[in-house]
Amino acid sequence: MSIVDILRVLMWLCHTLCGIVCAKHSSVLGDLFLMEKRPEMTSSGVEEYRHRHGHSGSIFPTECCPSVTQGIAPLGGLSRDGALLQLYRDSSTIQKFYETTCAHGVRGRACHFIDQSRYETRCEQKYSYTYAIVKDFNVTEPYRIDYMKIKTGCTCSIRGRRSQHFSLTDLIQQKKKKRK
């Protein structure tokens, strides 16, 4: 998938999911995304890229911050207020969850497809809460249904050179101000 195709998908997603008409902001998106020309790759060059960047399926990564989803069966977790929880488990019952983590070596690194000369970016682990049968750790109390923290994705945080957080909307507004 080319960068242009990715930009088209991004604009379609913005329009469909967020109700934003991104077509008129395509120049901002173009500025945001790195538009470097990649040289033709020989088969050995493709293999080298895959090995260097840890991608086995396709030549180029398709996510800004690649992630891995797997089933887990933890013994415990954290509550919304950070308390340690023990999950209910017996010989016939094991609670299992799907967890999505940043791929190996991705967390804390710069995001793919973003122009690093203009924006400081970093891949960050995202979390959510799901119901589980739990009790506070090392306490003799009955089990209850409560929230437990689960890793749910790897996202790209875009920061300005001044270490300020910017949303896509902020970047679009900044671009408009520069044009005036």
- Tens digit of each residue's pLDDT (9 = 90 or more) over 94-145: 999 999 999 999 999 999 888 888 888 999 999 999 999 999 999 999 999 9
The span from the CA of 117 to the CA of 108, in Å, is 17
Q: Where are the domains of the chain?
A: 3-179
Contact 9, 2 (CB under 8 A): no
Q: What is the mean pLDDT of residues 77-84?
A: 96
Q: Name the percent of the chain in helix, strand, coil, to the closest 5.
A: 25, 35, 40
Name the phi and psi angles at 41, rounded to 5.
-105, 135
Q: How confident is the model at residue 152 (pLDDT cuts 50, 70, 90)?
A: very high
- Could you read off the pLDDT of 60-77 as tens digits, one per residue? 557 899 999 999 999 999
The listed CATH number (1.20.120.420, 2.10.90.10, 3.40.50.300, 3.40.50.10190) that belongs to domain 3-179: 2.10.90.10
Report which of residues 31 and 84 the model is more confident about. 84
Contact 130, 152 (CB under 8 A): no
Count of alpha carbons within 13 Å of 131, Cβ hemisphere only?
2
Nearest alpha carbon to residue 77 among 123, 115, 128: 128
pLDDT of 179 reads 78
